Structure 1
Amino acid sequence: MTVAVLGVGVDTVDLGAFAASLAEPGTRFAGAFSATERRQCRERAEARGAGPGTSRADGDRPGGSRSDGDRSGADRSRGATSSSSDQSTPMARHLAARWAVKEAVVKAWSAALYGTPPPISPDLLVWSEIETVCDAWGRPAVRLSGEVARQVAATVGEGTRWNVSLSHDGDSAVAFVVLEGTPTG
């Protein structure tokens, strides 16, 4: 059985704009994240010394160790300090990376379906059905559920694998997703 790259997606999220949108009453982000995503983001922010509502620049632990797929220390080396902290909380910072994953998953899936109409209308997509979960060591993975999982299986196959990497740099969060599977046809 041959496994191939079926699609690639990347997305960048501005942390300040995302945090502002997240804080708006009635925002579309209110239901975009699963309970697991919200819990893991809260735990990561708190583990890095940022209690609820605090605004450390990266939500990192003192000493610079990082997890959550955020392996780059580039934001510290470039001198990012108060601009990040003024614009977003550590919780929003982690949610922004997960939003980037959701967008990158849709882009990778869309690339795999090039030349065919989307199986789910963009206005009917349930964003919480595209979930970023981390293992005990902070490595991210994509977990699909509901109609998104059914449509992915129907359009690109049951045996798909989502490879995901996410990072923060200064005032941005970025996600890169590669969709692998068995080519049809």
Structure 2
Amino acid sequence: MLGMGHDVVDIAAFAEQLDQPGSQGRRLFSARELRQSALRAKVKHDGEAAHLAVRWAGKEAVLKAWCEALGGRPNPYTLDDFPWGLIEILDDSRSRPHVVLAPACDAQLQESLGMGDSLRWHVSLSHDGPIASAVVLLVG
């Protein structure tokens, strides 16, 4: 294990931010993430915000795992330029979550850690009541 990240999100506060006029919150998600969240909300008969909030927690946990894996190496990004939209938290055909990095982001990860394509992500997502939570492991 190279790094671990964990994050929790208050779903109601997250939903409020998404619904504010002029909010740019949805641009932090890919079209696939937005589509999957809308579909899950429809199937589960709950709000889309819960499914986006848990994906946001996943993205934050990816950042934390990546930073831990860096150790003393320099961070390739700051919070202001971290490529949130290039990191997807998607469900596979069995509804299991996984991390998908855009090719440029994946190359940056490999370069920043000095490793090849042997890196793998493991992610667990959960939401219950008012809280969304994600745990991410980066292994190599």
TM-score range, shorter chain: over 0.9
Distance 1:179 1:116 in 2: 16
Structure-1 residue corresponding to 2:69: 112
TM-score by length of 1: 0.71
Q: Following TM superposition, by how much is the alpha carbon of 1:117 offset from its aligned partner in structure 2, in angstroms?
A: 2.1
CA distance change for structure 1 residues 150 and 25 in 2, over 3 Å: closer, same or farther? Answer: farther
Which structure shows the higher helix fraction?
2
Q: Following TM superposition, by how much is the alpha carbon of 1:28 offset from its aligned partner in structure 2, in angstroms?
A: 4.0
Structure-2 residue corresponding to 1:176: 135
Gaps of 5+ in 2: none
Distance 1:98 1:107 in 2: 14
Distance 1:115 1:28 in 2: 33
Find the structure with the greater CA-based Rg. Answer: 1
Q: Percent identity?
A: 46
Distance 1:15 1:127 in 2: 19
Gaps of 5+ in 1: 51-58, 60-89
Q: Secondary structure at the match of 1:93?
A: helix
Q: Secondary structure at the match of 1:25?
A: coil
Q: Following TM superposition, by how much is the alpha carbon of 1:148 offset from its aligned partner in structure 2, in angstroms?
A: 2.1
Structure-1 residue corresponding to 2:54: 97
Dislocated runs of 4+, deviation >3 Å: none
Q: Following TM superposition, by how much is the alpha carbon of 1:22 offset from its aligned partner in structure 2, in angstroms?
A: 0.8
- The amino acid across from 1:113 in the alignment is L
TM-score by length of 2: 0.93
Query: Aligned-residue CA RMSD in angstroms?
Result: 1.2
Q: Following TM superposition, by how much is the alpha carbon of 1:146 offset from its aligned partner in structure 2, in angstroms?
A: 4.6
- State the aligned residue count: 138
Contact kept? 2:9, 2:53, Cα under 8 Å:
yes
Contact kept? 2:4, 2:136, Cα under 8 Å:
yes
Contact kept? 1:9, 1:176, Cα under 8 Å:
yes
- The amino acid across from 1:144 in the alignment is L
Q: Following TM superposition, by how much is the alpha carbon of 1:116 offset from its aligned partner in structure 2, in angstroms?
A: 2.2
- The amino acid across from 2:26 in the alignment is A
Which of 17, 31, 37 is the aligned partner of 2:27? 31
Q: Secondary structure at the match of 2:34?
A: helix
